[in-house]
Amino acid sequence: MATDSPRAAAAASKRDVAPHERAKLLARLESFLIHFGQIWQMTTAAFSAIFRRPLEIKETLFQMEALGVRSLGIASVVALFTGLVMATQFAYGLQKFGGMEYTGRIVGLSFARELAPSLTAVVVGGRIGSGITAEIGSMAVTEQIDAIRALGADPIKKLVVPRLLASIVVMPILACFALVLGFAGAMYITDLEFGLPASFFLQTALESVRFADYFSGLFKTPFFGAITALGGCHFGFITRGGTQGVGDSTTRSVVAISIAILISDFVLTKVTMLIWPAA
Q: What is the pLDDT of residue 77?
A: 92
- Is the pLDDT score of 14 beyond 70? no
Q: What is the pLDDT of residue 131?
A: 92
Residue 278: what are its φ and ψ, rounded to 5°? -70, 140
Tally the C-alpha atoms within 13 A of residue 187's C-alpha that lie toward its C-beta.
17
Quick one: average pLDDT of 96-107? 84
Q: What is the pLDDT of residue 233?
A: 93
Over the chain, what is the mean pLDDT?
Answer: 86
Amino acid (one-letter) located at 78: V
Dist. CA 249–CA 236, nearest whole Å: 7
> 40-63 b/e with 16+ CB inside 10 Å = b?
eebbeebeebeeeeeebeebbeeb
Residues of the chain with pLDDT > 90, as a percent, come to: 39
Cβ contact 173:67 at 8 Å:
no
Q: How confident is the model at residue 2 (pLDDT cuts 50, 70, 90)?
A: very low
Dist. CA 16–CA 199, nearest whole Å: 68
Dist. CA 38–CA 256, nearest whole Å: 14
Dist. CA 230–CA 160, nearest whole Å: 7
Q: pLDDT of 225-259, one tens digit each?
A: 999 999 999 999 999 888 888 999 999 999 999 99
Pairwise pLDDT comparison (277 vs 9), residue with the higher score: 277
Q: What is the pLDDT of residue 223?
A: 95
Dist. CA 108–CA 210, nearest whole Å: 10
Q: How confident is the model at residue 201 (pLDDT cuts 50, 70, 90)?
A: confident
Q: What is the pLDDT of residue 204?
A: 87
- Is the pLDDT score of 62 beyond 70? yes
